[in-house]
């Protein structure tokens, strides 16, 4: 069965558009990535359930994305079904708890918490990620992270089974979580905050945003920090010490402002960014005997 025929079959089972050969560069902050064979942007949990069951029936791989802010999608694109969770944006607050769906952007959630005089997400005001992706990778900054806020996560697995996981059933560590090692799609989560003075929260958010502007490149497409910081060191510092700032392959360049950022200077490809990542890893290992592990997720097929 060809892709259009598959799309026609899937459209009978979901209440959303099914797109074919979708250029993923339009859905990543790096602005690179080959085509996804099939993609849906569901509005309802039933559409996710029907989508994953359809993929299982036809043997299609499943890829879930949010805002694409931590993804390097290669030029050959993504096989199977991509499920984008951008429409899952419901948020509610009760006391010191906020319940939010996976597609809510972190800056939106951060400002909502501030307006409710709830502290804990000040670090996230400048992170262009959705809540779901931020939970999977345990996004963090300035000594704080998502995992410390989580009380409960509601998920659906690739067989269509829904479940609730309490914080005691989850584990979070530096830039990863137990959620990353399972075939689960995050639907919503409950976060617990600390009540605090709204003006003090707003001041911390303003300071964090200003700090990001000072030390990070903001004007060109990137995916944030490319590498995890190794123990007792910083990836950006190691890259700078080796004189790799400004290193360029095609339109992919190590930022001259922050060594742990690779920016797209125009028409970079996924292959150029991947080659630059590997070049940095090789140079750092040769000179420092330190293995830099990518923080970004590298998915898809090479062109």
Structural element, H or E, at residue 3: helix 3-11
Whole-angstrom distance, CA of residue 67 vs CA of residue 12: 26
Q: Is 175 a catalytic residue?
A: yes
Asked whether 149 and 156 are in contact (CB, 8 A), the reply is no
Which of these is catalytic: 31, 225, 255, 272? 225
Q: Any idea how long the chain is?
A: 303
Whole-angstrom distance, CA of residue 235 vs CA of residue 242: 11
Whole-angstrom distance, CA of residue 212 vs CA of residue 222: 14
Nearest to 145 by CA among 165, 171, 108, 116: 171
Residues sharing a CB contact under 8 Å with residue 63, sequence separation 6 or more, in sequence order: 36, 78, 80, 81, 82, 83, 299
Token pair of 243 as six digits: 């004189």
Whole-angstrom distance, CA of residue 126 vs CA of residue 78: 28
Which of these is catalytic: 175, 177, 222, 272? 175
Residues with catalytic function: 175, 225, 295
């Amino acid at each position: 069965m060809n892709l259009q025929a598959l799309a026609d079959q899937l459209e009978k089972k979901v209440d959303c558009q099914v797109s074919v050969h979708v250029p993923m560069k339009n859905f990543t902050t790096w602005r690179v990535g080959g085509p996804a064979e099939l993609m849906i942007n569901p509005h309802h949990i039933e559409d996710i359930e029907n989508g994953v069951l359809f993929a299982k029936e036809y043997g299609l791989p499943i890829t879930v994305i949010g805002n694409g802010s931590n993804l390097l999608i290669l030029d050959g694109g993504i096989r199977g079904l991509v499920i984008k969770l951008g429409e899952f944006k419901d948020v509610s607050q009760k006391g010191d708890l906020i319940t939010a769906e996976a597609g809510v952007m972190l800056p939106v959630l951060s400002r909502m918490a501030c307006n409710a005089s709830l502290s804990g997400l000040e670090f996230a005001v400048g992170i262009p990620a959705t809540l779901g992706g931020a939970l999977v990778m345990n996004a963090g900054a300035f000594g704080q992270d998502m995992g410390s806020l989580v009380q409960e996560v509601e998920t659906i697995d690739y067989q269509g089974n829904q479940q609730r996981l309490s914080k005691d059933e989850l584990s979070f560590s530096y830039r990863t979580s137990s959620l990353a090692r399972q075939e689960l799609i995050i639907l919503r989560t409950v976060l617990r905050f600390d009540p605090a003075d709204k003006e003090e929260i707003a001041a911390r958010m303003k300071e964090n945003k200003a700090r990001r502007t000072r030390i990070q490149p903001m004007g060109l497409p990137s995916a944030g920090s490319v590498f995890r910081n190794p123990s007792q060191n910083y990836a950006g510092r190691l890259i700078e010490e080796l004189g790799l700032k400004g290193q360029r392959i095609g339109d992919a360049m190590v930022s001259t402002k922050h060594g742990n950022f690779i920016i797209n200077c125009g028409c970079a490809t996924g292959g150029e960014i991947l080659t630059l990542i590997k070049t940095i890893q090789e140079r750092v290992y040769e000179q420092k005997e330190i293995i830099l592990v990518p923080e970004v997720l590298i998915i898809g097929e090479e062109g």
